[in-house]
């Protein structure tokens, strides 16, 4: 699978789509040949995303139609939930590989979609075929995969922080709590009252209490039952997930040791006693983790910080695409954050 591969980015007008274009501009093996955005069809990419003007001086948005990707080696779908279900069956006929950033193919149980997404899945036969794309937890099936379902920011942060403890049998697989805060870009580019500047600025609030649609996906990835409460923080980027679990009786594993062993050698995961911060991961595909065991209360605590648009979206999708192609997962991806 060597050599340069052609790429189409569907949904390139959104934040995740723009981040994909930014990362792909410096990728040595991917060449972007098409970017779609039906709401901006015919508009120059540089006019909507001036930060990308030097990288894509002649590229314009095309329609989000499957024919745009005919013969393309790889398609990234950064579309709103539900849109990929309509496109992917057609894309699979003529495109080499697909990495979907939405939740359309992440859940293995089709019965969960009506409950959490309030609609039946339109092509449930593809759910089993889709490979879940969180490489640090399960990369074995990614090589050569036709369809990859790349998880988003909340699930990535919570899963990286908790899955090793559950897998090691260090904590109970019920009663887990995930409290996570996201920057406003996690809500997408679409204008909404809840994400306007005057609403978000100088505020910090929980939302989707007991009902966030990524809960079953997080449970699937971690292998445990949990209570997930998301929060909106007044910042552009970043996810900080603080997770709580009860150690298994007669077990007193140090969460920091468990995480360190699980991610030894992983280029994008930093495990340290340092307290993770969102700013430290800004612009990088890195996730920063720590863990503690509180002897006083008996709780195990793990924390994960990452950039919701990179490791939590576009960067992870590129990491998966690298794995699909059989290339080093670090190809074209930043491991260092931007500071100040």
Q: How far is CA 90 from the centre of its chain?
A: 24
Question: Hey, what are 215's tokens?
Answer: 């809960």
Enumerate the active-site residues: 153
Check: CB of residue 244 under 8 Å from CB of residue 250. Answer: no
C-beta atoms surrounding 187 within 10 Å:
16
Check: CB of residue 135 under 8 Å from CB of residue 48. Answer: no
């Amino acid at each position: 699978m060597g050599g340069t591969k052609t790429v189409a980015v569907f949904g390139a007008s959104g934040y995740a789509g723009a981040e994909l274009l930014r990362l792909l501009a410096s990728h040595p093996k991917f060449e972007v040949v098409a970017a779609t955005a039906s709401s901006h069809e015919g508009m120059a990419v540089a006019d909507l995303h001036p930060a990308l003007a030097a990288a894509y001086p002649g590229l314009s948005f095309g329609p989000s139609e499957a024919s745009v990707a005919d013969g393309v080696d790889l398609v990234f779908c950064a579309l709103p939930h539900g849109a990929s279900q309509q496109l992917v069956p057609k894309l699979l006929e003529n495109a080499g590989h697909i990495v979907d950033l939405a939740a359309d193919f992440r859940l293995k149980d089709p019965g969960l979609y009506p409950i959490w997404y309030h609609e039946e899945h339109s092509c449930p036969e593809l759910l089993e075929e889709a490979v879940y794309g969180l490489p640090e937890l399960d990369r074995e099936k990614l090589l050569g995969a036709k369809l990859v379902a790349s998880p988003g920011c909340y699930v990535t942060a919570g899963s990286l922080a908790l899955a090793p403890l559950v897998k090691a049998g260090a904590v109970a697989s019920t009663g887990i709590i995930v409290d996570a805060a996201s920057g406003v870009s996690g809500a997408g580019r679409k204008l909404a009252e809840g994400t306007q500047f005057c609403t978000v600025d100088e505020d910090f609030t929980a939302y989707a209490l007991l009902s966030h649609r990524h809960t079953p996906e997080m449970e699937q990835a971690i292998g445990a039952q949990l209570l997930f409460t998301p929060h909106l923080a007044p910042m552009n980027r970043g996810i900080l997930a603080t997770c709580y679990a009860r150690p298994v009786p007669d077990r007193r594993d140090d969460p920091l040791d468990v995480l360190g062993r699980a991610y030894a050698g992983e280029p994008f995961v930093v495990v340290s006693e340092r307290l993770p911060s969102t700013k430290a991961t800004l612009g990088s595909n890195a996730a920063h983790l720590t863990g503690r065991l509180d002897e006083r209360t008996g709780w195990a605590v793990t924390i994960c910080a990452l950039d919701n648009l990179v490791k939590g979206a576009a960067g992870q999708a590129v990491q998966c695409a690298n794995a699909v192609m059989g290339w080093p997962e670090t190809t074209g991806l930043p491991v260092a954050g931007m500071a100040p």
